[in-house]
């Protein structure tokens, strides 16, 4: 293999580029990115960068040495892939022929129907999204956030730190209930409460109210209208796979890959938010939209791409963190609804605690609030993963 194209200048794409060099590949590496920016870190977009306390340069994922070893095609979309032939057609009209392809395109933020072109309505997925939203978070604006997942909660926290009035709308009975289970999700509800954020659970949006092309309110199913100067939609993302139509790759809610992150063709792998993978033992497909997942997958996918066969399998750590208000939430493992929650330090009303998820007497997950040291210790003890096969 003499040349590799990485499609997607994302965290997963940046890590894939670094892994190629770290694993000894000295051939041509082309990094194709639809955005004009070098790869950047996304978590600060809803936190310090949105608040204006982090500079653009602090987000960079690649240093000068990294970029010097790459051929950069930024501000350029990949529009078609001949997977078998390793040929990419780019939006600038160029054809790119390579021996291997890493798909790291991530996805786009979901939007509310009928909101295109309405001023004051934002999603938060990209650097440009964050810049546009940040410019509108001026004193006195009323912010309504649709969705109380990690992004919604983090944006709410940032807006409250700026002294803004914030209402969060969530269709579920408790925020993050599907991720944390009802008992620990209730802790997240109280974080909103304690910091003056109005949390409305079981609330579904009917439509936005506008005047002169700008949002002025949110109308809920049932007729209630909430005033809003800024609306932030945080209802998930859609994998960026449309451009792969006709490529011969299997695509459904992501690019289908094996436990080694390899597609049906050994010269094409996928990593990050776009990769829908099976475990080594098979079963249903998984697709995770977390920072750690994107970072951890790159080494496995690159090793298998260079080998031309599956020599390593991906075993996710299930690690997720989120900074909300004064709290740092950490989760590891793979808890499911019905697992028993056991508090090992503190309790649900304490400002800091650690809890485990138990299933048939086995620890399958760990959650902590403001207890990083204890979380790390317990995670190492209870959730050891087998070393990857070299």
111-235 and 326-382: same fold?
no
Q: Where in the chain are the domains?
A: 3-108+238-307, 111-235, 326-382
- 333: which 2 tokens? 């493992």
Confidence of residue 84 (pLDDT cuts 50, 70, 90): confident
Residue 343 confidence (pLDDT) above 80: yes
Q: Across residues 169-190, what is the average pLDDT? A: 92
* CA-based R_g, the chain, Å: 22
The pLDDT confidence band at residue 388, using thresholds 50, 70 and 90, is very low
CATH assignment of 111-235, among 3.50.50.60, 3.40.640.10, 3.40.1010.10, 3.40.50.300? 3.50.50.60
Structure confidence at residue 3 as a pLDDT band (50, 70, 90)? very high
Give the pLDDT band (50/70/90) at residue 327: confident
User: 68 CB contacts (<8 Å, ≥6 apart)?
Assistant: none
Q: Average pLDDT, stretch 8-21?
A: 97
- Report residue 384's pLDDT band, with 50, 70 and 90 as the boundaries: low
Helices 291-307 and 11-22: crossing angle, nearest 10°?
40
Element (H, E) at 74: strand 71-74
* pLDDT above 90 coverage of the chain, percent: 89
* Residue-wise pLDDT tens digits, 212-249: 999 999 999 999 999 999 999 999 999 999 999 999 99
Confidence band, pLDDT 50/70/90 cuts, at residue 12: very high
- The pLDDT confidence band at residue 386, using thresholds 50, 70 and 90, is very low
Token representation of residue 122: 């934002």
Share of the chain above pLDDT 70, in %: 98
| Averaged confidence pLDDT in the chain | 94
Residue length of the chain: 390
Instruction: Report the candidate in 102, 114, 103, 179 with the shortest Cα–Cα distance to residue 148.
Output: 179
52 DSSP 8-state letter: T
326-382 has CATH 3.30.390.30 classification? yes
Select from 220, 219, 217 the least CA-distant residue to 231: 217
pLDDT for res 355? 96
How far, in Å, CA of 176 to CA of 154, rounded? Answer: 12
The residue among 290, 254, 285 whose CA lies nearest residue 269 is: 254
CA separation for the pair 332, 279 (Å, rounded): 17
The pLDDT-based confidence of 17 (bands split at 50, 70, 90) is very high
How do residues 114-139 score in pLDDT, each as one tens digit? 899 999 999 999 999 999 999 999 99
Q: Is the pTM of this model over 0.85?
A: yes
- 218, 141 contact by CB (below 8 A): no
Per CATH, the number for 3-108+238-307 is 3.50.50.60
Range in 300-304, 308-312, 324-328, 342-346 with the lowest mean pLDDT: 324-328
φ and ψ of 119, to 5 deg: -65, 145
| Cβ-Cβ contacts under 8 Å for 188 (sequence gap 6 or more) | 148, 153, 174, 175, 176, 180, 324, 329
- Would you say residue 188 has pLDDT above 90? no
**SS3 call for 362:** strand
Give the CA distances from residue 250 to residues 107, 253, 268, 316, 349, in Å, rounded to whole numbers and listed in that order. 17, 10, 12, 22, 47
CA distance 323 to 157: 8
Number of other residues whose CB lies within 10 A of the CB of residue 147: 22
Contact (CB, 8 A) for 267 and 305: yes
pLDDT digits (tens, 9 = 90+) for 40-54: 999 999 999 999 999
């Amino acid at each position: 293999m003499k040349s590799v194209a990485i499609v997607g200048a994302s965290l997963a794409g940046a890590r894939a580029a670094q892994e190629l060099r770290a694993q000894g590949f000295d051939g041509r590496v082309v990094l194709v990115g639809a955005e004009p920016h070098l790869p950047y870190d996304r978590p600060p977009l809803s936190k310090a960068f949105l608040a204006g306390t982090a500079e653009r340069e602090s987000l960079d994922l690649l240093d000068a040495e990294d970029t010097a070893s790459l051929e950069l095609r930024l501000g350029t979309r990949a529009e078609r892939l001949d997977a078998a032939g390793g040929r990419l057609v780019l939006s600038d009209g160029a054809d790119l022929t390579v021996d291997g392809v890493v798909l790291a395109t991530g996805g786009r933020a979901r939007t509310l129907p009928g909101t295109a072109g309405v001023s004051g309505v934002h999603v938060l997925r990209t650097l440009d999204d964050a810049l546009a939203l940040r410019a509108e978070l001026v004193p006195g604006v009323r912010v309504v956030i649709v969705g109380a997942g990690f992004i919604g909660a983090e944006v709410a926290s940032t807006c409250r730190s700026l002294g803004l009035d914030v209402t969060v709308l969530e269709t579920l009975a408790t925020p993050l209930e599907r991720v944390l289970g009802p008992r620990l999700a209730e802790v997240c509800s109280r974080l909103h409460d304690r910091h003056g954020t109005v949390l409305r659970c079981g609330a579904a949006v009917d439509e936005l109210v506008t005047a002169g092309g700008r949002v002025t309110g949110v109308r809920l199913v049932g007729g209630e209208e909430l005033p809003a100067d800024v609306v932030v939609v945080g209802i998930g993302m859609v994998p960026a796979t449309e451009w792969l139509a006709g490529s011969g790759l299997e695509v459904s809610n992501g690019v289908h890959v094996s436990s080694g992150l390899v597609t049906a063709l050994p010269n094409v792998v996928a990593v990050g938010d776009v990769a829908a993978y099976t475990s080594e033992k098979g079963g249903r497909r998984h697709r995770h939209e977390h920072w750690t997942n994107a970072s951890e997958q790159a080494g496995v996918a690159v090793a298998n791409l260079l080998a031309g066969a599956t020599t390593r399998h991906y075993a996710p750590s299930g690690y997720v963190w989120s900074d909300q208000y004064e709290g740092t939430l950490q989760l590891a493992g793979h808890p499911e609804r019905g697992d028993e929650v056991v508090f090992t330090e503190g309790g649900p009303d304490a400002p800091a605690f650690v809890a485990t998820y138990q299933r048939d007497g086995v620890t399958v997950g760990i959650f902590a609030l403001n207890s990083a040291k204890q979380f790390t210790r317990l995670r190492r003890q209870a959730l050891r993963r087998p070393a990857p096969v070299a």
